[in-house]
Structure 1
Amino acid sequence: MRILVLSDLHANLTALEAATAEEFDRLICLGDLVGYGPSQNEVIRFIRERAFVALRGNHDNALALDVECRCSPANKALAEATLAYHRTLLSSEDLDWLRALPGSVEFKLDGYRFAAFHATPRDPLYGYEITPELPDDQLREEIEGVKADFILLGHTHLPMVRGIGSRVIVNPGSVGQPRDGNPECSYAIIEDGVVELRRAKYDLFRTMEALRKLPLSNDLIDQLISTLEQGGPQ
């Protein structure tokens, strides 16, 4: 079975289309469908129709429940402005769907046990602690008590595959807003128990043109475009 793992789509339909050009049998989405990008309705519709598992990220949570997303201070103005705009465009049905999404879930696929979280096991919505640089002893503490073969995490926008004992921790990175210095969309493939992090180029110009049509200030749009072009804020 070929499992496609996506996270942090952030309303970037063009990037999502590039990532899902991969052949796959099951699609796992770790959350943050909305915020920052121009195509929230289309991204939600795609995931609703095709995902085997979908989680609620902190941006989805903020939009659906009208609470703070608790993102980094550097991105707060961008998040608040785009989420406020997205909220005016989503149907009540889509809002209800976002509210009903779990923040974490356990499931079995292809004979393996999976535990999926938007952020971390200790803080499924907001935790930023698990990064590629986290020492093994601290990573072991962060995943203590999680009984799974694969632990799937998103939220940081930083792709990662780490092994702790018999467990494999996978962060596919961000489809819609990479922040590791590489602007190509990031995702993971799990097949026959083997994880591969992958990147795909997408039509960035198309996303940029859609962003320029949003009713936001020029400064905010320039920041959003710069982040996409550079693979993260500079």
Structure 2
Amino acid sequence: MRLGILADAHGNVAAFDHAMIELAREADEVLVAGDAFSDHRFSNEIVRTIRRSGAQYVLGNHEMSFLGPANARARQSPRLSRRELDFVRHTPAELRVTLGGLRVLMVHGSPWPPYGRYLDPASPEFDRADELGADLVVLGHTHLPMQKRVRGVRHRDRSRGRKR
């Protein structure tokens, strides 16, 4: 099974659509590890693309911020698609699924508290990877492309760009 992994588009519709088109050609399953849009600007287009594609999706810190109390007024905007907002509201922050025989865990930030922590390849938390009950852990958040294998568990962060 070939997995396509995206994270941290932060509302860049053109880049997200391009990546989704490319992945649709090559991947059997697409995973979106959060921060599809920015907390200050909801993207109907990106959420619609995720929903229609059937990609597996988890919330990132930007989606959670947008859904929080500080953005109640923004969620009332007539430009916001109610269908796309409801889709995001019902999206989990953690996904556990079996794909191609692999137990996959996908979260946006850290799978260990504090969940919003930025992990890098040298983070000591990875030494505890066997506690997660997964063969593959997919993360976003850091904007650092990373692949690391720890005692049989592989961690990937496929986001790119600057930290926001």
* TM-score of the aligned structures, taking structure 2 as reference length: 0.84
Structure with the bigger RCO (C-alpha within 8 Å, sep 6+) is 1
Partners in 1 of 2:139 and 2:133 — Cα distance? 15
Partner of 1:189: none
Percent identity, aligned pairs only, is 28
CA 1:36/1:110 → structure 2, altered by over 3 Å: closer, same or farther? same
The superposition leaves residues 84-121 of structure 1 with CA deviations (integer Å, 9 ceiling, x where unpaired) of 86863322322222121111111111111111111111
Q: Provide, for residues 57-105 of structure 1, a one-character-per-residue CA deviation record: whole Å limited to 9, x for no partner.
A: 111111123348xxxxxxxxxxxxxxx8686332232222212111111
Q: Which residue of 2 aligns with 1:146?
A: 132
Report the counterpart of residue 3 of structure 1 in structure 2. 3
Contact 1:151 1:170 in 2 (8 A): yes
Match of 2:55 among 52, 56, 60: 52
Q: Give the whole-Å Cα distance in 2 for the aligned partners of 1:36 and 1:59.
A: 4
What is the CA–CA distance in structure 2 between the aligned matches of 1:123 and 1:173, rounded to whole Å? 21
Shift of 1:44: 0.7
Report the TM-score, using the length of structure 1 for normalisation: 0.60
- Give unpaired runs (5+ residues) of structure 1: 69-83, 180-231
With over 3 angstroms needed to count, the CA separation of the structure-2 counterparts of 1:125 and 1:67, relative to structure 1, is farther
| 1:108 match | 98
Q: Read off the aligned partner of 1:102 and give its amino acid letter.
A: P
For 1:131 and 1:5, locate their aligned partners in 2 and report how far apart those are by CA, in whole Å: 17
Question: Cα RMSD over matched residues?
Answer: 2.6
Distance 1:43 1:37 in 2: 15
Instruction: Tell me which structure has the larger Cα radius of gyration.
Output: 1
Deviation of 1:17 (Å):
2.3
Q: Report how many residues are paired.
A: 160
| Equivalence for 1:132 | 121
| Within-5 A mapping of 1:26-41 | 26-35=29-38, 40-41=43-44
Amino acid of the structure 2 residue aligned with 1:153: L
Pairing of 1:1-234 with structure 2 (within 5 A): 1-20=1-20, 21-22=22-23, 23-35=26-38, 40-67=43-70, 88=77, 89-123=79-113, 126-128=116-118, 130-134=119-123, 137-141=124-128, 143=129, 145-174=131-160, 178-179=161-162
The one-letter code matched in structure 2 to 1:100 is H
Q: Partners of 1:166 and 1:160 in 2: how far apart?
A: 16
Query: Which residue identity is paired with 2:126?
Result: L
Moved over 4 A (4+): 36-39, 84-87
